[in-house]
Structure 1
């Protein structure tokens, strides 16, 4: 194979490899654990959602949790057994906090579920291949664990011209990918074939550092005549970074804040390719991985093929852990790994190494000192950043400056901290600053969403106000047309009674008396329905009596209306009906006042407040007046109906004059215009008084009520009572649950009690 052109990445360091310790033995099968802990979130994105229940038996490879979003991955049982627990369990994370997980007790049989291997994947559609990869639960096995299917379809409109296979494995101590390429080269090439069939790239580049000659030879032999290009390049950390490897192999740079797909490239780890082969060809989900067990505290460093969910303590014991030598246990390498809180945490999809280091290997960090501005960190940064500036901006929490200096281009490789003579933990500052910026952006997003909701509500209220204004204007125009029509009718000569009756019946109009009876019947029905709702909410004997009395009054009002409608419109025919209707109206009014008086007396109790006492006196006076009118209507002779046309016209004219004056005042009219309108209003009032005197109707009895001022505490208690009553009615209308209704009723009762105590 001819030499291929390579490019150099900026920065980088050359720490000791320390890989030979774990490559002396072939990959070993890890022993089957008795208990597996499977966290629901083993990847970037949304955690999976459990499908199984406690006590359920599962088979090896069975789906036990489904992906909960587009960027998510399902989870499968690594062996057969019984689900013993679902909940918080130890989790491999720098925070040491537990996470939701499914626990499976192994039955030792390792029994597979039914599989459906694929003889020829080339016959499958791209969508089917992507779904197989998604359902296998594959996420990146060499980096942050981004779901592979989501990565493959992240840029459907972008043509992938170059597929890059990452076999660099640049971090010290880790040799999992090296051993995988040595022993699973055929499966690796098969996975690359599947990706080439799916993506149709113009070229496929396989990048391996030159410190892995055995892996390069195995892959070269497995490639055969395939056109894929195997490129070896000098060992340098962190050449295994996605953007760094693309720059080394192609010379192209991924733009700041961008992805490789933005420049037509896609990078996948060699372990991910083997997992794709197993998923498509063998129909086996991702339930195990190759993991490096190394460090001076282990008697037999090696690489093992371990089931996901295996407690790390069992794997370290299998490798001959010597507790007296163990200083610190890392998951990952010494550059980007993190200290594990305990050995009870499980192996997950992104766990590529367990480093059990001694004190000599992993000494305690030196005390941090002030930056001396040496510039070493800037020279080794593979992203061409200014680490010392980022450090100062992070100390001052200058988020805008951090973003302007491309903080999020930092891959957190640790090269800057490795060469820092002042022992400043630079990466820790960067991680904390990134977390602060993400939290601030999340708060700003929530604030923006709240602002948009507020503006939408204001716009909705504005539209409602415009609608109400239009409705008010329509009512005024309708009243004006009615007044003009009444004046036209008054000026027309009287027609024959029979002809007028026929025309009125054809037009579907009602006489004034019929209209009044219809309004009285409607009001009686409304009052009855309100009382029935109160009875449904609070079933008491007093409310039941009021409902019965109101039901009788509503029936009487309806009878009076029916009688008036059947009697016709002539004066001779209407006279008996008018007399009967007057009596019915008096009965209805008396019944309604009687019911209202009983309700007020029940609310006031034995010690009514001053306001309640005044209201009781007013109701009693009105009831006495209504009973007098009822007695007079039962004994009075049949009255001759008066001509109410002039009285109605006077009332309409007065209402129109008042509306015109109010509108002029709101519009800011001049003093002369207002004075003219006030004079017209006074003339209309005098005309109404004259029409009332000419109609012969009795003058209504007025009852003056002394309204006392309400103090602030009483107003607040009344407001709370009104809100409680409104909320209860709303919940009853929405048919809320029994507990919610009970709480609302308790709130109403408490508000009534507090108001009574305050008034008393």
Structure 2
């Protein structure tokens, strides 16, 4: 039985630009890839290669230190730099730059695995860890950490195939073109966390994907395909859990607290490739789209491919873009330099025209209409949160649960005054974390002085 989640909006989908275009390999591989040592939640990786080293596809080039996921070469060739480079998240990040030899020589460690059925759940999780798999829906959380934390604590595994963000179709095409890997990955992940079943939630605007996956599952019945009423932000894990199970994740809690584990369908396919084929995560499907782009398409690209190269392969700009984003128009992050690389979590490069952006009017005064409250899927009060943020009343903003904001952009979308609500909440979160860090440091200094 399907349920409902609170709030949400219905933005124009704009998926028609690419939803019927098959994912294609790059017509021209990049001459260089720039692979950041941070493409995940957690500490950056430490480079384990040096300038002049020859590397192969799938070779380890960055190892973790604490929370994180290892990083592998996405092309074969020569390491020409190990240095800070501009990063998609802003600022500079230590990166490994590889000059492509265009041979795609695989690392000898990549071997098809025999007797997969005999693998234990712990062994599957270890394979996922060594393959460097992270959440591929955009969050970038290390998948092995999520799976290991779910063992013995969850009774439901949900895969997110909703792809509710406008414009993006990479997951849709994945489910159509590699449905066997999605289903296979779902089964492997279920085994890893000690379950015998999994659920895949897909919005009803993808009927072909729903029917295709149901056909692949057949009579096995161990993977349930649920069609979900189309509504944004359906793909947010707390909303997806509520939709599929009726359970609500309490404020400040995680999905595991309501016995659920949520992963993306692209993550499931990466798990399948790692376990079955021995392949680490070195490439992914990306939607190149938007009205400013000459030839919108879906491509399979090596991690570290410069955004400028992807745009070139999509025919370049047919008109000057108003903005270029990693991701969709609701939660995407702006790209200020097209030389930045695509990362493990990059599912879309969106090039929007001024007309598509449609938020050029200067922000007006809040009229207290309450539409942002009605739209917020987290039961928050955005108008009061922003009012206190503007007055720098951080304790009041924290009491209004700004840290529970998932930054989905529903309030921005629905606001008639075009107020930059989400942007102000990001500022508030940063300030609250900074204050907490300073208070912690002061306490520790005081305790050290007493000792």
Q: TM-score range by the shorter chain?
A: over 0.9
Q: What is the Cα deviation at residue 364 of structure 1? A: 5.1
Q: What residue is the counterpart of 1:85 in the other structure?
A: 81
Q: What residue is the counterpart of 1:255 in the other structure?
A: 250
Matches within 5 A, 1:321-340: 321-322=316-317, 324-340=319-335
Q: What residue is the counterpart of 1:65 in the other structure?
A: 62
Change (3 A) 1:323 1:85: farther
Q: What is the Cα deviation at residue 98 of structure 1? A: 2.1
Of residues 28, 47, 51, the one that matches 1:50 is: 47
Q: What is the Cα deviation at residue 251 of structure 1? A: 0.5
SS in 2 for 1:102: strand
SS in 1 for 2:219: coil
Q: Which has the higher strand share?
A: 2
Q: What is the Cα deviation at residue 155 of structure 1? A: 4.7
Structure 2 gap segments, 5+ residues each: none
Distance 2:69 2:265 in 1: 19
Q: What residue is the counterpart of 1:176 in the other structure?
A: 170
1:360 equivalent to 2:355? Answer yes
List per-residue Cα deviations over 1:668-712 (Å, max 9, x = no partner): xxxxxxxxxxxxxxxxxxxxxxxxxxxxxxxxxxxxxxxxxxxxx
Distance 1:146 1:258 in 2: 16
SS in 2 for 1:344: coil
Distance 1:159 1:369 in 2: 47
Q: What residue is the counterpart of 1:527 in the other structure?
A: none
Distance 1:305 1:64 in 2: 21
Matches within 5 A, 1:108-257: 108-114=102-108, 115-156=110-151, 158-201=152-195, 203-227=197-221, 228-257=223-252
Q: What is the Cα deviation at residue 188 of structure 1? A: 0.7
Distance 1:226 1:89 in 2: 48
Q: What is the Cα deviation at residue 116 of structure 1? A: 2.7
List per-residue Cα deviations over 1:38-77 (Å, max 9, x = no partner): 00000111011000000000011100110111x1111101
Distance 2:250 2:237 in 1: 13
1:29 equivalent to 2:25? Answer yes
Which stretch has the larger CA shift, 199-208 or 100-109? 199-208
List per-residue Cα deviations over 1:725-753 (Å, max 9, x = no partner): xxxxxxxxxxxxxxxxxxxxxxxxxxxxx
Distance 2:287 2:200 in 1: 22
Q: What is the Cα deviation at residue 124 of structure 1? A: 2.1
List per-residue Cα deviations over 1:405-454 (Å, max 9, x = no partner): 21111110111111111111000110000000111111111111112211
Which stretch has the larger CA shift, 15-24 or 392-401? 392-401
SS in 1 for 2:225: strand
Q: What is the Cα deviation at residue 117 of structure 1? A: 2.0
Q: What residue is the counterpart of 1:75 in the other structure?
A: 71
Q: Which has the higher helix share?
A: 1
Q: What residue is the counterpart of 2:291 in the other structure?
A: 296
1:390 equivalent to 2:385? Answer yes
Distance 1:13 1:364 in 2: 17
1:378 equivalent to 2:400? Answer no
SS in 1 for 2:357: coil
Q: What is the Cα deviation at residue 377 of structure 1? A: 0.4
Say which one has the larger Rg. 1
Distance 2:4 2:227 in 1: 13
Q: What residue is the counterpart of 2:92 in the other structure?
A: 98
Of residues 433, 441, 446, the one that matches 1:451 is: 446
- Contact (CA 8 Å) 1:296, 1:325: kept in 2 or not? no
- Contact (CA 8 Å) 1:161, 1:202: kept in 2 or not? no
Distance 1:409 1:254 in 2: 11
- TM-score, length-normalised on structure 1? 0.58
State the superposition RMSD in angstroms: 1.3
Distance 2:34 2:125 in 1: 28
List per-residue Cα deviations over 1:333-364 (Å, max 9, x = no partner): 01111221111010101111111112221245
Structure 1 gap segments, 5+ residues each: 457-760
Matches within 5 A, 1:587-736: none
Q: What is the Cα deviation at residue 250 of structure 1? A: 0.6
Q: What residue is the counterpart of 2:266 in the other structure?
A: 271
List per-residue Cα deviations over 1:352-396 (Å, max 9, x = no partner): 111111222124532112211110100111111111111112112
- Contact (CA 8 Å) 2:133, 2:270: kept in 1 or not? yes
- Contact (CA 8 Å) 2:319, 2:353: kept in 1 or not? no
- Contact (CA 8 Å) 1:24, 1:302: kept in 2 or not? no
Distance 2:94 2:311 in 1: 24
Distance 1:254 1:104 in 2: 43
Which stretch has the larger CA shift, 356-365 or 182-191? 356-365
Higher relative contact order (CA 8 A, sep 6+): 2
Q: What residue is the counterpart of 1:551 in the other structure?
A: none
Q: What is the Cα deviation at residue 126 of structure 1? A: 2.7
Which stretch has the larger CA shift, 33-42 or 352-361? 352-361
Q: What residue is the counterpart of 1:426 in the other structure?
A: 421
- Contact (CA 8 Å) 1:37, 1:101: kept in 2 or not? yes
Distance 2:76 2:378 in 1: 46
- Contact (CA 8 Å) 1:122, 1:197: kept in 2 or not? no
Q: What is the Cα deviation at residue 186 of structure 1? A: 0.3
Distance 1:298 1:78 in 2: 26
SS in 2 for 1:153: helix
